[in-house]
């Protein structure tokens, strides 16, 4: 075994000098949340790095809905799930159809539609929220899950169309031409040639839309207000309304709420990194 040279040790030390602060910076807010979740109420504020008596009692309270703030936990969890999945499915349907139409069928005006979509993508979502709130009121959709689903589809589809269009442009034209030669109809090309080849991008975009909807706070909090209609993030925000809000339960619920998207993200990371960074910034 060769002993590391002095220079190697110095390089490693310099890297650690960057790595350790990066690790602490990343983990502290998350660890703080976790610590609250596993601490009994009286331990949570002691400032210790690990509680004297770690417990899952907080999770039990949340799962049994044993607190005023948590009485609709399951309904809200279900609302979040239903809305996220609906947004994922609708965005995929709308964006895939549009990308196929623009990229493969070269529909007249397709380029203009793409530019409009791109324009929407760049308008900050918080700015669109104000008129969107009023519009949903005019449509009579406030406090209805459809308002949030449609709003999130509106926000998710421009980027989805953009990424899917980029990906479809890379598929060779000869594939479509060969299918036409064989007498395939447009819909058959879409179903049998286009969709299978686009699968990796579709997975990435579906995941993107689901996570976007699951994580959304602003639109959910504007468009839904009834306790049994709201999603989990809005319920978490409502904890703050009370002065004596039970922090340890808020952090426990927050931890449960954060787990699914983190799991989905890590499960699909391979697709996300390739599919999304390519679309996000073209250098």
Partner 1 sequence: MAITLSGDQAIPGPPLSSRLTPAQVWGIILLAPYLLVFLAFVVYPVCYGLWLARDPSNYVALYNDPIFARAAINTLIFLIIGINIKMLIALFLSGFFAQQRTWIRWLSVIFILPWAVPSIPTILSVRFMLNPEWGVVNHLIFSFTGDDGPNWLNDPTVALAMAIGVHIWKSLPFWTLILITGRLAIPHDLFEAAEVDGASWWQKFRYITWPSMQTLYVTCTLLSMIWTLGDFNSVYLLTGGGPADLTHVLATLGIRYLRLDQLSLAMASIVCAMPFVLPLVYFMMKRLSR
Query: Binding residue for partner 1 (CB under 8 A) from 62, 83, 84, 222?
Result: 222
Structure tokens at 86: 């609906």
**In the window 84-113, what residues touch partner 1 (CB under 8 A)?**
93-95, 97-98, 100-102, 105-108, 110, 113
Beta carbons of 252 and 58 less than 8 angstroms apart: yes
Q: State the number of binding residues for partner 1 (CB under 8 A).
A: 94
Beta carbons of 94 and 156 less than 8 angstroms apart: no
Segment near partner 1 (CB under 8 A); pick from 54-62, 68-76, 202-210, 211-219: 211-219
Q: What is the 3-state secondary structure (H, E, C) of 38-106?
A: CCCCCCCCCCCCCCCCCCCHHHHHHHCCCCHHHCCHHHHHHHHHHHHHHHHHHHHHHHHHHHHHHHCCC
**d(C-alpha 224, C-alpha 83), whole Å:** 12
Q: Is 246 in the site for partner 1 (CB under 8 A)?
A: no
Segment near partner 1 (CB under 8 A); pick from 2-10, 52-60, 69-77, 250-258: 250-258
Q: Is 146 in the site for partner 1 (CB under 8 A)?
A: no
Q: Is 217 in the site for partner 1 (CB under 8 A)?
A: yes
Query: Binding residue for partner 1 (CB under 8 A) from 15, 178, 199, 242?
Result: 15
Beta carbons of 239 and 73 less than 8 angstroms apart: no
**In the window 224-243, what residues touch partner 1 (CB under 8 A)?**
233, 236-237, 239-240
Structure tokens at 33: 């949340």
Q: Is 32 in the site for partner 1 (CB under 8 A)?
A: yes
**In the window 67-86, what residues touch partner 1 (CB under 8 A)?**
none
């Amino acid at each position: 075994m060769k002993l590391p040279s002095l220079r190697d040790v110095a390089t490693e030390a310099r890297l650690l000098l960057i790595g350790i602060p990066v690790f602490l910076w990343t983990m502290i807010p998350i660890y703080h949340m976790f610590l609250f979740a596993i601490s009994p109420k009286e331990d949570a504020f002691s400032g210790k790095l690990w509680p004297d008596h770690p417990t899952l009692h907080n999770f039990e309270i949340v799962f049994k809905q044993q607190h005023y703030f948590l009485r609709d936990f399951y309904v809200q969890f279900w609302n979040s799930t239903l809305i996220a999945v609906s947004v994922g499915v609708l965005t995929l349907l709308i964006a895939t159809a549009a990308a196929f139409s623009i990229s493969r069928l070269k529909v007249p005006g397709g380029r203009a539609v793409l530019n409009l979509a791109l324009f929407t993508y760049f308008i900050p979502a918080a700015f669109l929220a104000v008129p969107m709130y009023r519009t949903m009121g005019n449509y009579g959709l406030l406090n209805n899950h459809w308002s949030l689903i449609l709003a999130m589809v509106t926000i998710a589809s421009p980027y989805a169309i953009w990424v899917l269009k980029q990906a479809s442009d890379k598929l060779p034209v000869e594939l479509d031409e060969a299918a036409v030669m064989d007498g395939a109809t447009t819909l058959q090309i879409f179903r049998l040639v286009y969709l299978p080849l686009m699968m990796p991008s579709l997975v990435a975009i579906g995941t993107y839309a689901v996570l976007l909807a699951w994580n959304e706070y602003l639109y959910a909090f504007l468009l839904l207000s009834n306790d049994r209609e709201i999603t989990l993030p809005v319920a978490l925000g409502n904890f703050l309304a009370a002065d004596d809000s039970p922090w340890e339960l808020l952090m426990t619920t927050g931890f449960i709420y954060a787990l699914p998207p983190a799991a989905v993200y890590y499960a699909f990371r391979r697709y996300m990194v390739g599919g999304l960074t390519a679309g996000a910034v073209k250098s």
